[in-house]
Amino acid sequence: MRSLLPPLQRAEKSAAICQHIAGTPEWRAAKIIALFAPLPGEPDIDGLWAHAAGKTLAYPRMHDEQLSLYSVPSLRGLHAARWGIREPSPDAALLIAPENLDLILVPGIAFTPAGERCGRGGGFYDRLLATLPARTPRIGVCYALQVIPTIPSEPHDQTVHAIITE
C-alpha cells in the first residue's frame, strides 16, 4: 500500500513525520541518534538533518551480517551499498557503540499499536535492538497505513517503545 502513495503525498507525509519526530522529548534530549537511510517507498527522514544542530547522527552499516552504527557529518557521508541501501563509509565515519545511543529510529514494513514490528525478514534490526540498553528509546517510523492490529511474532523479535506516523 505504501508503494501506491503518489510521490507528492509521500513527500508531504514524510515532512510531517520529520516534524513529529523533531518535536518529541526524546529527540530534543538526545545527543547521539541512530537514523536509517530510507528505501524507496519508506518515509524519507532525511529532513531530520534540519533539526540536528548539536546532535550526532549515526546510520547502520552491514558488517558480518550485523548492523554497526557509524556517525556521519552530513548526508554526503552515505553511499549506496548492499541492496542499494545508503550506508556510511567506515573509513570516513566514526563507529558508535550501541550503548552510547540516546535514541534510535527504526524502519519497518508494519507495526502494531503495541510496538511489535515486521521488518524485511533478515533480523538485522532485531539483532541490533537486542544490544541496546533498556533505557534507549526505540521509535518506529512509518506511514499511518502501516500500523495494523496484529503481526505474527517470534521469540527473537524486538519491539519499539513508540511509533511515529504522519
The per-residue pLDDT for 83 is 73
The mean pLDDT value for 14-23 works out to: 98
Domain boundaries, the chain: 2-164
pLDDT digits (tens, 9 = 90+) for 20-77: 999 999 999 999 999 999 998 899 999 999 999 999 999 999 878 889 999 999 999 9
Give the containing element (helix H, strand E) for 79: strand 78-80
The per-residue pLDDT for 136 is 98
**Domain 2-164: CATH superfamily, name plus number:** NagB/RpiA/CoA transferase-like (3.40.50.10420)
99 pLDDT more than 90? yes
pLDDT digits (tens, 9 = 90+) for 111-127: 999 999 999 878 899 99
- Backbone angles phi and psi of 46, in degrees to 5: -60, -25
* % pLDDT > 90, the chain: 79
Task: Please name the residues in contact with 13: beta carbons below 8 A apart, sequence gap of 6 or more.
Answer: 5, 43, 143, 165, 166
Confidence of residue 164 (pLDDT cuts 50, 70, 90): very high
